[in-house]
Chain A
Amino acid sequence: MFEDMVTARYYEERLQEEYLEGKQPAFDISAGPIPGELHLAAGQEAAAAGVCQHLRDSDTVTAPHRPHHVAIAKGVDLNRMTAEIFGRRTGLSKGKGGHMHLFDPDVNFACSGIIAQGCPPAVGAGLAATKRGEDSVAVAFLGEGAISQGAFLESLNLAAVRELPVVFVVEDNDWAISMPKDRVSDVADGSRRADGFEMPGARVDYDDATAVYDAAKEAIGRARAGNGPSLLEVQVHRRMGHFMGDPESYRPDEDREAAQERDSIERLAADLRSEGVEDDDLEEIRERARDRVDEAIEWAKEQPKPDPEEAHEDVFVDPPSGVTTDEPTHEIAGGDD
């Protein structure tokens, strides 16, 4: 869990550096090696790590527009994910999806950049597991801003009436771009949304990975045992702007500073130390995480860019006649070579 968290944090730090390259002095979103929007999750690691610790490769996770920490915790191939973010041919989606749209079927991970729209497919994964008599579960991650969406509420209901093995995890970082939670919801505790569906709801108030781990253990255990869905809300913090380049002029300085101070990673490190884990051991984990991330970024940057013509491929898995392209399909190298 600690390793997932430090990997995710360091990954975001490195991506931030890479992202800003070529975008200075005047910020231009379309310049540099990583173009497009980039939503970083520094401060939110505890939710992803605490939950995904209980998951197997065969369990499904759907992530929203801020997916890296969840992807790392779910075990998405780091090299190919990084290549995707750099828009390379050997990326998870051959450079077609990008940072908000990571798909790794090997570990049943998918994303959507449209708010709350990962919830219904998670219900579908739960439905498939139930129909097949398998004990896998599905977890849908979303932000607190997403809990006003129809897709989320409809998914809670469908999962509840069919008693499906789905866990909804709300990462409450207090902000939906510029909108503070109290301006868009009269209910501070988002887990209470579960009440209307006769579903268990729980909230972890401090971004405390151990407490998330415990709460998720119960929720995922319940789902796996065939006892239906639940909702878990986790308080996290957004240490950065909504997206890279966000001037955050709407955000009070105190709030930004408070978010920077509360650090789930430091908190977990302190807990581990108090349980007798040596500093050296923690440093060794950090070291390993840094190496892995640096390697992934190096690897990704060396990968080939897609040929423009590849844009025409993959609209269909099985193109009907009249839609096929003349272009040869390219061999996609895996992340391990």
Chain B
Amino acid sequence: MAQKESQQAVERELTMSRAMVEAIGHEMREDDEVFYMGEDVADYGGIFDSTQGLLEEFGRDRIMDVPISETAYIGAAVGAAQQGMRPIAELMFVDFFGVCMDQIYNQMAKNTYMSGGSVSVPMVLTAAVGGTYNDAAQHSQTLYGTFAHLPGMKVVVPSTAYDAKGLMHNAIRDDDPVVYMFHKRLMGIGWMPAPDGPKTPVPDESYTIPFGSADVKREGDDVTVVTLGLHVHRALEAAETLAEDGIDAEVIDLRTLVPLDTETVLESVEKTGRLVVVDEDYRSYGVTGEIIARVAEDGLADLEAVERVAVPDVPLPYARSMEDEVIPGTDDIEAAIRSVRS
């Protein structure tokens, strides 16, 4: 709860993208070895405003536009990181990982292990995730599960500006490869309005949020809702509506998938006895299954009812009516909470 206090102490509110950029700028000022590479990150400032304003301060050598060659530049980040630099490489949409996955999961993720720990890869891979704007199946995926499934990468998913900044400081300072996945809908970019939640007070100074510390974004006694990213805000909205009916939901924001704070989830389930897991990734073989498995392994006795809310196992459709059908909405979360209560 120390976090809540420090949030109250500052008045200045930032969008999630501004908060991320502030952390990156700070780390770049502190450490000459930090640099940022990606498509359209210099003059454009990042398609999702992830590098807005950094070119002016740091120039083209440190805010580098690169050719559309993800294999080359993400692999180059691995190589530079192995030399002790601290590169940040941006994959514009997570959906594009297919063209460069070898560099991510066979090089970036495994070199530490395969070298018996003698090689470290202190890089950050940033990527935009998420749908809700009808960009269809190749530009709307969330894919948290894929990255968390493959060992060797820490996986970070902020849902607010405050968290985005603290987690970014951590990610850049971390000696391991970190995948930092930001939801487009939370960034606060001009052409994609964000919900109210992600814009939060953010302190000027740097601060870190330890990986593996989930955040209880709303306390409640009746049902535990575990989620991350955009769906933290949808779950909070559902919880507020249900509160009017006397149902008190606790909303846990995982914040990092690797490492995963199982403890906070188990403690909450011990209190509520009921679990709803919400994820914008595909239903099968993903985050929802993992959380439920962990609770089943270590907290089965506390568990009275459980439900998961996720994208059914279909690619994301284009037409709005169908996209709304598959991406979990506030209504779906509300229904799941009611259902585990009954």
Question: Which residues of A are at the interface with B, using a C-beta cutoff of 8 A?
Answer: 26-30, 35-37, 84, 87-88, 93, 95-98, 100-101, 112-117, 145-146, 148-151, 176-179, 183-185, 245, 249-250, 305-312, 315, 323
Contact = CB atoms under 8 A, between A and B. Distances in A.
A305 B318 contact: no
Nearest to B318: A98
B315 to A, nearest CB: 7
Contacts of A26: 190, 193
Contacts of A312: 312, 314, 325
B39 interface: yes
B138 interface: yes
B71 interface: yes
Given A87-B321, A113-B136, A305-B320, 8 more contacts: A29-B191, A36-B133, A95-B317, A95-B318, A98-B319, A100-B136, A116-B99, A306-B319
B174 to A, nearest CB: 29
Contacts of B39: 176-177, 179
A151 B100 CA distance: 11
Interface centre among B43, B136, B190 (most CB of A within 10 A): B136
B318 A28 contact: no
A148 B66 CA distance: 10
Nearest to B138: A113
Contacts of A250: 43-44
Given A36-B134, A151-B99, A250-B44, A311 B65 contact: no
A30 B69 contact: no
Contacts of A35: 133-134, 320
A178 B68 contact: no
Contacts of A28: 191-193
29 contacts: A28-B193, A29-B192, A30-B133, A30-B134, A93-B318, A96-B136, A97-B136, A98-B134, A101-B137, A101-B318, A114-B95, A114-B99, A114-B138, A115-B96, A117-B99, A148-B72, A149-B69, A150-B69, A177-B44, A177-B47, A179-B43, A249-B44, A305-B320, A307-B321, A308-B322, A311-B314, A311-B317, A312-B314, A315-B314
A96 B319 contact: yes
B324 interface: yes
Interface of B: 39-40, 42-44, 47, 65-69, 71-72, 95-96, 98-99, 132-139, 190-193, 312-315, 317-326
B319 A88 contact: yes
B314 to A, nearest CB: 5
Given A30-B133, A114-B99, A311 B139 contact: no
B285 to A, nearest CB: 15
A93 B317 CA distance: 10
Contacts of A146: 68
A80 B327 CA distance: 26
A29 B133 contact: yes
Given A28-B192, A179-B65, A36 B324 contact: no
Given A100-B136, A311-B326, A315-B314, A306 B65 contact: no
A94 to B, nearest CB: 8
Tell me what chain B mostly uses at the interface: helix, strand, loop, or mixed. Answer: loop
Contacts of B42: 178
Contacts of A36: 133-136, 318
Contact of A96 (B99, B132, B135, B318): B318
Contact of B313 (A95, A145, A315): A315
A95 B99 contact: no
A117 B89 CA distance: 21
B66 A98 contact: no
Contacts of A179: 39-40, 43, 65, 67
Nearest to B193: A28
Contact of B324 (A95, A177, A249, A308): A308
A178 to B, nearest CB: 4
Contacts of A100: 136, 138-139
A305 B65 contact: no
B17 to A, nearest CB: 15
B99 A306 contact: no
A118 to B, nearest CB: 12
Contacts of B193: 26, 28
Nearest to B140: A36
Contacts of A113: 136, 138-139
Given A35-B134, A96-B136, A150 B71 contact: yes
A148 B67 CA distance: 6
A87 B318 contact: yes
Contacts of A95: 317-319, 321-322
Contacts of A30: 132-134, 192
Contacts of B320: 35, 87, 305
Contacts of A310: 322
B67 A185 contact: yes
B68 A148 contact: yes
Contact of A245 (B67, B99, B191): B191
B122 to A, nearest CB: 26
A306 B318 CA distance: 10
A315 B134 CA distance: 18
B48 to A, nearest CB: 12
Contacts of B190: 26-27
Interface centre among A115, A116, A145 (most CB of B within 10 A): A115
Contacts of A149: 68-69, 99
Nearest to A117: B99
Nearest to A87: B319
A98 B191 CA distance: 19
A311 B325 contact: yes
Nearest to B47: A177
A112 B134 contact: no
Contact of B66 (A97, A184, A306): A184
Nearest to A144: B68
A96 B317 contact: yes
B291 to A, nearest CB: 23
